[in-house]
Structure 1
Amino acid sequence: MPAERVHAFDRLRVMATVGVVLLHGGAGIVGARRGEQTGFFTSLNAANVYDSAGRFAVGCFFMISAALLLAPERPFDVVRQTRKVLVPLVVWSFVYIAYAMWASTSGRSTPVNGSIGDPDVAAPVQILRDALAAPVAYHLWFVYVLVGLYLVVPLLRPLTARPTAERRGLLLYGVSILLGLELLARFVPQVWPGTPRLYVSFLDVFPSGFVGVFLLGFLLYHHPPRVPAAVPALVATCGFAWIVVAVWRQQSAEVPSLWAYENLNLPVLLFSAGVFTFVTRPAARLRPATRAVGVVSALSYRIYLVHALVLHVVRTEGPTGDLYQDSPVVGIPVAVAVTLVVSFAIAWLLGRVRPLRSVW
């Protein structure tokens, strides 16, 4: 019997899909002009605002997976679940490699940022080595982390299968340890530059990071905080504002840093947790999602895989590329909108090819 569909997650997937494209749209300007001194009301900081607005997305994607896959009432097959994301990862890695090789030989474009850079088509072994060394496109790191989380789900499900009262305390303890150490190592030096360095080797090998975010998603959904909806909305707003201001101030620092954009730093965690809690609060779960939202939600993974290639073309070629570079305030939303429409169309069309639906 199929598990009941969670309509709040459909809405959140659509929001997160838009968020990912938005942050990558803004990042193309912020990264290229990193360190440039700028006022708050400038085109560069507008790109920062767009980028910051999408930073909740990755954390929410992980938390949705946790809330579903760690639920004891839902079946889980680690091989099947891993294959669902791993096979498309391999297929799309070849797509991005092929595009990079075409861009390199034709000179008509540039490759999407990734591990293979500007490949030499006469050196296929080196291309393979580079492809194995890191994701071939910058956004595919997410899938590697997702696969890693899937592999530890069988170890986490015995915890989430405990009696409800006991489970909540254990989850709070687990999240506190896993995310607490991560935040301690990352955040304290930002607010106290002279702090002594902690025992880095220990923190590097301690299993934390995204496993903590994963457990946090299960905790927030299955044990939602009993607070008014305004509280998570305020937390999300504060996280977003913190990211914007921190990146803006760092842009003109002597040593510019984009630390506030990092998924495991406190501002982004607050933003992600606030959005997740607000959208999935018990009162919101009762409202069914529209059919259109359900369709986009079902295609969200495929849209994620293809969007980096579409966005790369949109922001580097033709009139949209000129608008993106010359007027980011308008150009970024235009690039994002075009990318979303084209990526959805590609994802939908690929889904019509039924024999190959599972490979991309």
Structure 2
Amino acid sequence: MKTLKLALLSASILAAGTANAAYKIDINDKSSISFGGYIKVDGRLVSGDIAYRDFWIGTGQVLPKSQSQFKIFANETRFNTKYVHGDVTGFVEMDFLGGGGNQIISNSAHPRIRHAFIKYKDFTVGQTWSTFMNTSAIPETADFAGATVGLAFIRQGQIRYSMGGFKVALENPETFGGGNEDETMPDVVGRYDFKGDWGTVSVSALGRQLVSQTGQKHSAFGASVAGKINVSDKDDIKFQVHHGELGRYIGVAAAQDMVGEEVEEVTSYLVSYRHFWNDKVRSSVFYGNIQTEVTDVERSQWGVNVFKDLTKNLAVGFEVGQFIMDQKNTSDADSFYSQLSLRYML
């Protein structure tokens, strides 16, 4: 009987490989295993005096003169699996943004862990999105994550406790621009989510201990308000506002935590509006910005797009936008981009 169950399970797993949607296998009344993810193929053209990237982050290479580059890639493709047994859930997800890729011959790319965590009742332990983040406030974009300069965007190891709308976590410490070998205190994050028919809004606070390159320890604090507000039946406004000594938590490498012996202070924001033209076609317009106090840099990105569902699981989208880098005592730089994306939900 055990062998028969294993054979049936194997057959189910093989069938799941060709399924058009996330596939769930019920092992018994308390246990199940699920498979999901998506395949995403992008064609991207970047033109300007900031060097090509597959997706914009908070910084970039300024070129001596303007240039253009076009690429087709599928590295954002991802796969995940979830195992549930009673009160215990295990989740693992990977994508293919881990480096590598020989464009001359094979275009192979290394897989990497995105999420790997265990959830037991009210506790979550492992690597996943920081508790400081509100993922519902990330706009729908072709460019990966879209306007990252305005986002709270970080995955890391943590121990999180949740009770209703309240969450508190101890998270992995890291001082971007400092001396990481002397870190002894975890980052502490608190968050509360307000939810209703109108949407969701979160208020987050962060406290941590930073270590400079000379070993000096500094306290750092910051806060965030983020959310999604429903407009009419389907349209929505998404927003994020962040301020304080947030460093690596904000803007995806736009700001360091420490600049010499000074703690960097940042202010960033992101706003987007998504409109549904009909049941299958929708558009978003978005803008993100970050400014730092010590290094006096400013980064911004805007974009506008249109997506259409070709089937229930297959969508095509086109987006145009601009990434801009301003910095004290240097010339401003910018690049325009256009991107065509095809995404198939597994």
TM-score by length of 1: 0.27
Report which structure shows greater RCO (CA 8 Å, sep ≥6). Answer: 1
Q: Higher strand fraction: Structure 1 or Structure 2?
A: 2
Q: Higher helix fraction: Structure 1 or Structure 2?
A: 1
TM-score by length of 2: 0.28
